């Protein structure tokens, strides 16, 4: 009864991408810089937590070895003597350092085109696009219209949005158009409808996603984004491992934002959840329900949205340790022929300049009671992960990548 549990620790990079300089990210290293800050007690780290980064379970599966291979440096607090499992390093070939690029490639489909992006100007969205949105949706205008952090721009424009009925529109260096509006005053379903309208205009521009960012609260300082985020995304251009599994009669449990990333394609069970620990709970519940040849696919988004983008190394460290503490629960729940894969889609170094993703290689940690320990080395394309899943579940090989087993 082989099954696969795929855990994507969103943004958990380990440095070393050979083309990082092309993205302005040469020297970025999410894991190394978090571990170093913890070991040295730098900045806010010392006041928020104490001691070196402690990840005994991830390290036991080869995290330290993967990090060492990726960048040539062993992060403080980690070791180069794994206890079990197989470990390696994943290198992305898709052009972007965004969520869809990393996830599509993990699922066996490298992105074959260049995404569209909005310029770093104020205003950032083309005037004709804004005019189309206003005319088609009936909103009285938009606020923001710039590159921004989601939490910061809601603080800046939230009260005006409530008063005027204008949604807050912003972007980042990713291929994305984000829309924030109040769940009650603007309306959640109305926000989703607006995002669908905007998606119809932006998809031909190869903008990867339009993201609904609902929030609650009545005044600055009390505004808070909710778990009702929804992504309207361009669908992958080829069948992914999700399509291949479900097409063969297998189950695909998409937990968190996974279904949105793949535009719902190949999903048999969609499970929405917010918060890393709730996502972990839903993963364990899916494992209890999953049948033969199932894929349980969870994106642990907090690493990225709560700590990477907000440049919070202490929070990132604590989130990693919280995930690590729960890893034995997952391993204990596995059947003898289950396989768990722990990886990431890109980096987001919380010590780096700016607020955006960083171009990094990622860890690939494999564990099964049926699998001997060892290394899978440096994988030249993240599609090797999808092909490893196909191999484990007995599916035919796909056109991109090669199984690591």
User: Residue 76 and residue 37: Cα distance in Å, rounded?
Assistant: 9
User: Residue 91 and residue 17: Cα distance in Å, rounded?
Assistant: 7
CATH entry 3.40.720.10 includes domain 4-112+237-393: yes
Q: Which regions of the chain carry the CATH code 3.30.70.1250?
A: 127-233
Q: What is the pLDDT of residue 227?
A: 84
Q: Is the dihedral of CA 173, 174, 177, 180 positive or negative?
A: negative
How many C-beta atoms lie closer than 10 Å to residue 50's C-beta? Answer: 9
**pTM of the predicted model as reported, rounded to 2 decimal places:** 0.90
Q: What is the pLDDT of residue 383?
A: 98
User: Residue 65 and residue 375: Cα distance in Å, rounded?
Assistant: 9
CA dist list (Å): 28 to 226, 315, 320, 336: 30, 18, 18, 38
Question: What are the average pLDDT values for consecutive 10-residue runs of the chain, which has 405 residues?
Answer: 95 97 96 95 64 95 98 96 94 92 97 91 97 97 94 95 98 92 98 98 96 96 92 94 97 96 96 95 98 97 93 95 98 97 98 93 97 96 98 96 97
User: Residue 302 and residue 9: Cα distance in Å, rounded?
Assistant: 9
Q: Which regions of the chain carry the CATH code 3.40.720.10?
A: 4-112+237-393
Q: What is the pLDDT of residue 48?
A: 64
Q: Which CATH number fits domain 127-233: 3.30.70.1250, 3.30.470.20, 3.10.450.50, 3.10.50.40?
A: 3.30.70.1250
Query: How far, in whole angstroms, is CA 182 from its chain's centroid?
Result: 24
60 close to 82: Cβ distance less than 8 angstroms: yes
Return phi, psi of residue 191, to 5°. -65, -45
> For the packed helices 127-137 and 188-202, what is the interaxial angle rounded to 10 degrees?
140
346 close to 94: Cβ distance less than 8 angstroms: no
Q: What is the pLDDT of residue 54?
A: 96
Q: What is the pLDDT of residue 384?
A: 98
**Residue 219 CB-density burial (10 A; 0-12 exposed, 13-18 middle, 19+ buried):** exposed
**Residue 288 CB-density burial (10 A; 0-12 exposed, 13-18 middle, 19+ buried):** exposed
Q: What is the pLDDT of residue 47?
A: 57
């Amino acid at each position: 009864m082989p099954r696969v549990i795929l855990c994507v620790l969103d943004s958990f990079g380990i440095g070393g991408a050979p083309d990082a300089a092309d993205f302005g990210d040469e020297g970025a290293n999410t894991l190394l810089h978090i571990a170093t800050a913890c070991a040295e007690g730098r900045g806010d780290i010392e006041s928020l937590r104490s001691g070196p980064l402690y990840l005994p379970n991830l390290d036991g599966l080869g995290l330290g070895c993967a990090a060492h291979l990726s960048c040539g440096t062993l992060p403080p607090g980690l070791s180069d003597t794994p206890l079990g499992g197989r470990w390696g390093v994943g290198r992305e070939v898709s052009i972007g350092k965004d969520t869809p690029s990393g996830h599509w490639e993990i699922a066996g489909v490298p992105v074959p085109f260049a995404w569209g992006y909005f310029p770093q100007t104020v205003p950032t969205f083309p005037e004709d696009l804004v005019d189309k949105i206003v005319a088609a949706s009936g909103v009285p205008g938009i606020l923001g219209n710039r590159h921004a952090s989601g939490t910061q721009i809601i603080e800046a424009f939230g009260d005006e949005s409530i008063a005027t009925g204008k949604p807050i529109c912003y972007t980042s260096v990713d291929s994305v158009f984000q829309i924030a509006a109040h769940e009650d005053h603007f309306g959640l379903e109305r926000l989703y409808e607006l995002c669908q309208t905007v998606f119809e205009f932006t998809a031909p521009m190869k903008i990867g996603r339009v993201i609904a960012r609902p929030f609650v609260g009545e005044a600055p300082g009390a505004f808070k984004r909710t778990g009702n985020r929804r992504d309207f995304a361009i669908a992958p251009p080829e069948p992914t491992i999700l399509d291949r599994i479900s097409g063969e009669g297998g189950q695909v449990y998409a937990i968190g934002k996974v279904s949105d990333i793949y535009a719902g394609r190949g999903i048999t069970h969609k499970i929405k959840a917010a918060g890393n620990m709730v996502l972990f709970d839903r993963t364990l519940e899916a494992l209890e329900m999953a049948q033969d040849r199932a894929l349980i696919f969870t994106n642990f988004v907090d690493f990225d949205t709560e700590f990477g983008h907000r440049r919070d190394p202490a929070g990132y460290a604590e989130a990693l340790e919280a995930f690590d503490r729960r890893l034995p629960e997952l391993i204990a729940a596995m059947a003898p022929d289950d396989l768990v894969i722990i990886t990431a889609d890109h980096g987001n170094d919380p010590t780096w300049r700016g607020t955006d993703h960083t171009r990094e290689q990622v860890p690939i940690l494999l564990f099964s009671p049926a699998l001997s320990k060892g290394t899978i080395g440096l994988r030249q394309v993240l599609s090797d992960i999808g092909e490893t899943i196909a191999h484990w579940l007995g599916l035919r090989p796909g056109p991109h990548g090669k199984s690591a087993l």
